[in-house]
Structure 1
Amino acid sequence: MTATKAPPAPEPALELRKPSTRKRLVPYWLLLPGIVWLLVFFAAPLVYQASTSLQTGSLEEGFEVTWHVQTYADALTEYYPQFLRSVAYAGTATALCLLLGYPLAYLIAFKAGRWRNVLMILVIAPFFTSFLIRTLAWKTILSDGGTVVSVLNSLHILDVTSWLGVTEGERVLATPLAVVCGLTYNFLPFMILPLYTSLERIDGRLHEAAGDLYARPFTTFRKVTFPLSMPGVVAGTLLTFIPATGDYINAELLGAANQKMVGNVIQSQFLRVLDYPTAAALSFILMAAILAMVTVYIRKSGTEDLV
């Protein structure tokens, strides 16, 4: 008789070792510097600003928190034209940035080839110059005796823009057009970079597949390219619209007194009028308005999970 071999004994189950408390706390320790930074430089100033908006008094007598909520209503009632103007200027500049930036980002992503890095450097290059200097340069470019105004006058373009109300007579400087041009130029890179990043990730084989299915170039763009680039469109419009709404340098240097934006009012209330409660209330109203518009925009665009 042949002896049957006994089945091997089952190996003891490996015990799952729980991570030590020290290892579990590592992610929180890594987050700690960022949390401290936000608390010190964002949360604390925000709380201080909120308390300032609820104060009453003067610089000579001092300010005291009296929970005077009426400051918000008074500020909005008095300065609502500047709010509407800021939204109009920022929205127009954002639309122009999208119209100008999308073709350039598309060119860099799909057509530039070995010149891609050079074009990207040219897009980023303006960041190496001060925001103030760039705006002052536009003040020189759009000056009354400059080449731009002379060319526009010879083409009778300023006659049309004057009729539309974006320029005044035969000049561009100190008009809404000058402010929008400054905003568009200064914030254009903020639109191009997210667009390029989104377009660069699109698989080129999708375009080939669309062509194999006899789709025309415009149909390919409408059905394939643009929908896949929507994350970049949303990110670019937000990165352009939000800072443009609160900007005051372009309106200060390129606009006139009747083209002031809400940022100019806040800057004046803080540094000239020294009405700190009104300035703080205007800042909170602007922040709440932008937050509401951004929330609606993201939900309407259907990209809550992409931004």
Structure 2
Amino acid sequence: MNDSIHDLLPPGIQAVLSKLPGEVVRTLEEIRIREGRPLEILYGSRHGFPDAFGRLSPFPEQAYIPSREECVRLLDVLTRHSLYSFEEELRRGYITVAGGHRIGLAGRAVLEGGKVKMLKDVTSFNIRYARQVKGCGGRVLPQLLDRDATTVHHTLVLSPPQQGKTTLVRDLVRLISEGTRELPGGRKVGVVDERSEIAACVRGVPTFDLGPRTDVLDGCPKAEGMMMMIRSMSPEVLVVDEIGTLQDAEAVWEAMNAGIRVIATAHGRDLEESGGRPALRKLLQEGIFRRFVQLTRQGERFDARVKELAGPRLRQARAPDELEVRRC
């Protein structure tokens, strides 16, 4: 198990997970800890409930039950013994830890002025593993290049949660920054990493390999961060994860008008579903994005289908590639 996650967990849960079969540990994707309810893990697109001896079952009756004390201890460790110093993270409902692993939180919301100020009495934790899969973008990037292969098209990567969006984009950043046979010399890349998932920065330094020509703005709201990057770092390609607000869309528009190529991700199974969101509707209606990557997951593999906007119509860019998501 990843040491950065293992060390965060209460001893009882550590003991359970340390007894899991090696193949399960290798493919762990999520650990779901719920106070007074069965411990659950997701691995290789499957799920199970481990008992105190690490035996997995699809049924929760014999599962290990995390206690209130364990949940209180876990939150204390995650917030470094100071809830108020993590007030912003508690307001957003997640904490990103070293390694880029994101821990979702649920509990009782504290409101102020009708808006969530922070979470209190946290009773559910969703620990999501982040992994770098070098090479998974190698067959996608050539389909994103413009006709002269001087840069990339404006690209939107679409999929439901946990289908590989961030993993793919992370590798595309590395390849564009390093350069490839199809894109020699690389390009200056700016990454606005609001959730600290793409780069997994520690004290501002990326822990994932994003290439030699990449600058990262960590923990900054996307809309504001994109404008800061445009003004300060003059990127040739700007990368942002999970655009969703009208402010995000306006910042994407500003970047494109400044001559910067944009690669963004958004939740959605397809363009029709994503286009139902006001933040994306205008960008899609204006035909700004020229390439669309739709991801679907099957076990440890995902299928990346690249489509291009040709006039008012979409068409397949090239034959779709099936890319293996290797686990470590």
| Fold-level similarity (TM above 0.5) | no
Does 1 or 2 have the higher relative contact order (CA < 8 Å, sep 6+)?
Answer: 1
Structure (1 or 2) with the greater helix fraction: 1
Larger radius of gyration: 1
TM-score under structure 1 length normalisation = 0.23
